[in-house]
Structure 1
Amino acid sequence: MQETQQHYFVYIFGDQPGSEVQIGIADNLQEQITNRKVDSPQNNNSYPGKRLVYYEHYDVESIALNRERQIRSGDKDSTFSLIASMNPNWLDLSDTL
């Protein structure tokens, strides 16, 4: 029997440089993207940003959790610099998965 490969994503959602961002971790990033983009009464979209502007992929959950904590512990400038290193135009990266 073959084990399935686990996937963990550290992500940042935002709208534009200088705007509020949300940093998180997910084992199903596509589901996070879909939930964020669907406007419905059941889906409370109170989170900032509908665009996936940054993500990192990990095979080990504990490493992904540590990376998320590291990004969260930084200031806004370091978060914006991180986004700019991968996505300087803050494009929606959801189609690149």
Structure 2
Amino acid sequence: MKRFIYIITDRNRNNLHVGLCSDLLKTLQFYHQMPTLFFDSAQQLNRLVYFEEISNEDLAMDRFKFVSTFTRPQKEKMIRSVNPDWVDLTIGLNYENSGARTRPMLRPSISAARKLVTF
């Protein structure tokens, strides 16, 4: 089962929250639905700036525990290594799962579309 380790922050990058989940999109939707659950309205955690996908549950838990012990400069260095501009990665995840990249329907065969017209 896949697990995700993520770092989410507010718009001013004051708070860096490390989390572990099995469904990243549902977790991000939860943060958007409950913006003031953990912090006040000025510090809403709404920007995904880093995530890792790990296939093994035990390895994911070990990695989560390890990343959770990082100091703020260590977390910032890890984020900047893959996301130097601190872009919100939620936009890309929503695009990939929106169906914009689904396989197009097959075109009907030309012979089926042609009909003989008799007068």
> TM-score normalised by the shorter chain: which range applies?
0.7 to 0.9
**Cα drift, residue 15 of structure 1:** 2.5
Whether the 8 Å contact between 1:10 and 1:24 is mirrored in structure 2 is: yes
Cα RMSD of the aligned pairs, angstroms, is: 1.9
Residues of 1 paired with 2:59 and 2:74: CA distance? Answer: 20
**Cα drift, residue 18 of structure 1:** 5.0
Residues of 2 paired with 1:21 and 1:37: CA distance? Answer: 16
Q: Quick check: 1:79 aligned with 2:71?
A: no
Q: 1:16 to 1:86 in 2, by over 3 A?
A: farther
Residues of 2 paired with 1:69 and 1:29: CA distance? Answer: 18
Q: 1:60 to 1:27 in 2, by over 3 A?
A: same
Partner of 1:52: 48
* Unaligned ranges ≥5, structure 2: 94-119
Partner of 1:25: 20
Q: 1:18 to 1:34 in 2, by over 3 A?
A: closer
Aligned pair count reads 89
**Cα drift, residue 16 of structure 1:** 5.0
Higher relative contact order (CA 8 A, sep 6+): 1
**Cα drift, residue 29 of structure 1:** 0.6
**Cα drift, residue 64 of structure 1:** 0.8
Whether the 8 Å contact between 2:11 and 2:46 is mirrored in structure 1 is: no
* Unaligned ranges ≥5, structure 1: 1-5
* Percent of residue pairs bearing the same amino acid type: 25
Alignment partner of 2:87 out of 84, 88, 91: 91
Residues of 2 paired with 1:87 and 1:26: CA distance? Answer: 20
Q: Hey, which bits of structure 1, 4+ residues long, moved more than 3 A?
A: none
Task: Choose 8-17 or 55-64, whichever is displaced more.
Answer: 8-17
Partner of 2:7: 12
